[in-house]
Amino acid sequence: MKILFLLAILTTQLFLTSFCFDCKIACKECMLYMTATKYYVQTGNAKAVEKEMRKDFCTADPKKPEYSCLMKPCAKIKRIVAHLKKTTTPEQICKRLTFC
């Protein structure tokens, strides 16, 4: 189980490093990221997912325009994880975060 979780985190890291996080084109990457994290939140790994999301979203340099859109998800991680536990779809979450 831990190996699968680490694999998912690695996969999401790859998606994050491949994003420029240009807010106009990040919709697909956001949905892939949220789909993977939703699976792990629903399998009982919410705390670990929240910790990884903090690393992913809150360590970006907000002064760089391509990363400035990460500040909104950084401020709402607990709420995002709560929505991932429910029936909220990754697409709905990404739309609320203005990636889509």
pLDDT tens-place string over residues 18-50: 444 566 677 888 888 888 888 888 888 888 888
User: How far apart (Å, rounded) are the C-alpha atoms in residues 42 and 24?
Assistant: 29
Cβ distance 66 to 2 under 8 Å? Answer: no
Other CB atoms within 10 A of residue 43 CB: 13
* pLDDT value at residue 18: 46
Share of the chain above pLDDT 70, in %: 75
**Which residues does 94 contact at the CB level (< 8 Å), separation at least 6?**
27, 30, 31, 34, 100
User: How far apart (Å, rounded) are the C-alpha atoms in residues 44 and 33?
Assistant: 17
Other CB atoms within 10 A of residue 6 CB: 11
Domain segments of the chain: what residues? 2-96
Question: H helices within 1-100, ranges in order?
Answer: 2-18, 27-42, 46-58, 71-75, 77-85, 90-96
* pLDDT value at residue 22: 61
pLDDT band at 72 (very low <50, low <70, confident <90, very high): confident
